[in-house]
């Protein structure tokens, strides 16, 4: 078991690549505790559709920032960065290694580079954008966001109207894209860190995504969403503006068939994975490990471990 207290490893990669499986063994090797940087696993009740770690995996290694919020709460990148920094300090104080793992690029960017404190809110601007969204729909606003802030647009779902409006609000109030605005204050992680990334050939990753979606349906994703609706949630909540949940809400509303919902989830998840890879390649200095090049998970873990301990 490696004692690694001076550096913070950050494990990234697209959805369905296999981060959770690798992270459990890597954390055990590094005497680490895991800080989840997943913007949806932070919520309760969203288990199957977010591929949340199993109870056995959660028991194998301490996990933080998983299952901490109800679905009507909003959890920002800034809040994540603050919570993660406190957790990193606590984990280090106990002679453990904090291992950050996730696919939410904006969360990780906020942790590493900091978050801005400059005022960027304007009720009138936001209300105007909300009225415009009702009139023309999220698609056209998303296209506008892609023109003024393509990096941020690449991190969010085209139907996540709340985040689209927030990003456009920042742009209209400050005159700067949200990504540029975030970079103005660098109050990020005060410890040395190293990025390691997991990837697979695109065709293989897409096949894994398709199979995982089918397995989610077998595991009860429809019942999970139905249960969420029975709790009183409508699908309009920010937490539920998520691939997998939006499509099943449409199915439960009778707007599409289950087969159409499955196809849409697979297609939208593949697109999301592509955006994740683009983000991490453009934003961070990541050392990538192609899982297709290793014979076993243990070989991958050993390679990652060796790279981390060299830093």
Question: Do 43 and 136 have their domain in common?
Answer: no
d(CA 197, CA 17): 10
Position 1 in a domain? no
What pLDDT was estimated at residue 221?
Answer: 98
Neighbours of 247 (CB within 10 A): 27
Cα 70-42-33 angle, rounded to 5 deg: 140
Does 264 lie in the same domain as 300?
yes
Domain identity same for 127 and 54 = no
User: Which pLDDT value is given to residue 115?
Assistant: 67
How far is the C-alpha of 152 from the C-alpha of 171, rounded, in Å?
11
CATH of the domain at 159: 1.10.20.140
* Residue 173 tokens, joined: 């109030």
**Which position has the token pair 């471990």?**
305
Q: Are 276 and 103 in contact (CB under 8 A)?
A: yes
Domain assignment of residue 30, given as a range: 8-115+185-310
- Which residue shows structure tokens 């990193």? 88
Report the alpha-carbon distance of residue 174 to residue 147 in Å, rounded.
16
| pLDDT recorded at residue 79 | 86
What gap in Å lies between CA 297 and CA 12, rounded to an integer? 16
d(CA 92, CA 193): 13
The answer to whether residues 80 and 131 belong to one domain is: no
| 8 A C-beta contact, residue 216 and residue 244 | yes
With 0-12 CB in 10 A as exposed, 13-18 as middle and 19+ as buried, what is 234? exposed
Q: How is residue 282 written in tokens?
A: 């453009």
The token duo for 264 is: 């849409």
Helix, strand or coil for residue 30? Answer: coil
Q: Using CA atoms, how far apart are residues 160 and 156, in angstroms rounded to an integer? A: 7
Cross-strand partners of 43: 69
Let me know if residue 2 belongs to a domain. Answer: no
258 Cβ neighbours under 8 A, 6+ residues apart: 217, 222, 251
Determine the 3-state secondary structure of 55 from DSSP: helix
Q: Is 222 exposed, middle or buried (0-12, 13-18, 19+ CB in 10 A)?
A: middle
The CA distance from 285 to 192, in Å, is 13
pLDDT, averaged in runs of 10, over the chain (311 residues): 68 96 96 96 97 95 97 87 94 95 90 69 80 87 89 81 88 77 63 95 97 98 98 92 95 98 97 92 89 95 92 66
CATH number of 106's domain: 3.40.50.300
Is residue 304 domain-resident? yes
Contact 97, 62 (CB under 8 A): no
Number of domains in the chain: 2
Residues 233 and 245 in one domain: yes
**Does 158 map to a domain?**
yes
What's the whole-model pTM score? 0.78
Residue 292 and residue 151 share a domain: no
The rounded distance, in Å, linking the Cα atoms of 228 and 219 is: 16
Domain termination site, one of 156, 182, 208: 182
104: helix, strand or coil = coil
Q: Are residues 279 and 196 in the same domain?
A: yes
Encoded tokens for 162: 């709340």
State which of 166, 182, 198 marks the end of a domain.
Answer: 182
In the sheet with 32-36, reading across from the earlier edge strand, the strands are 63-64, 32-36, 97-102, 8-12, 193-199, 286-290
88, part of any domain: yes
User: Minimal CA–CA distance to 178: which of 140, 137, 148, 158?
Assistant: 148
> Do 156 and 271 belong to one domain?
no
Both 209 and 290 in one domain: the answer is yes
């Amino acid at each position: 078991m490696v004692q690694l207290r001076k550096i913070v490893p950050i494990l990234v990669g697209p959805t369905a690549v296999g981060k959770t499986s690798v992270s459990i063994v890597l954390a055990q090797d590094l005497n680490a505790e895991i800080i989840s940087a997943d913007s949806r696993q932070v919520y309760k009740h969203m288990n199957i559709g977010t591929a949340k770690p199993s109870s056995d995996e959660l028991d194998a290694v301490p996990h933080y920032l998983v299952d901490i919020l109800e679905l009507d709460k909003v959890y920002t990148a800034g809040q994540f960065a603050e919570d993660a920094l406190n957790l990193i300090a606590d984990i280090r104080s106990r002679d453990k290694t904090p291992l950050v793992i996730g696919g939410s690029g904006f969360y990780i960017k906020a942790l590493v580079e900091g978050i801005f404190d400059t005022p960027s809110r304007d009720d009138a601007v936001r209300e105007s954008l909300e009225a415009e969204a009702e009139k023309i729909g999220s698609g056209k606003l998303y296209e506008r966001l892609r023109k003024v802030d393509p990096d941020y647009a690449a991190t969010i779902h085209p139907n996540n109207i709340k985040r689209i409006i927030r990003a456009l609000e920042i742009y209209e109030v400050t005159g700067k894209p949200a990504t540029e605005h975030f970079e103005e204050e660098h109050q990020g992680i005060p410890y040395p860190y190293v990025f390691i990334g997991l990837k697979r050939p695109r065709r293989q990753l897409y096949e894994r995504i398709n199979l995982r979606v089918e397995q989610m349906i077998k595991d009860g994703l429809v019942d999970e969403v139905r249960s969420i609706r029975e709790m009183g949630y409508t699908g309009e909540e920010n937490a539920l503006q998520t691939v997998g949940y939006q499509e099943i809400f449409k199915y439960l509303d009778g707007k599409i068939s289950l087969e159409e919902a499955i196809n849409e989830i697979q297609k939208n998840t593949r697109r999301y994975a592509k955006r994740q890879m683009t983000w991490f390649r453009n934003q961070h200095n990541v050392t990538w490990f192609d899982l297709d090049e290793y014979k076993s998970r243990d070989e991958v873990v050993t390679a990652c471990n060796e790279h981390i301990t060299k830093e």
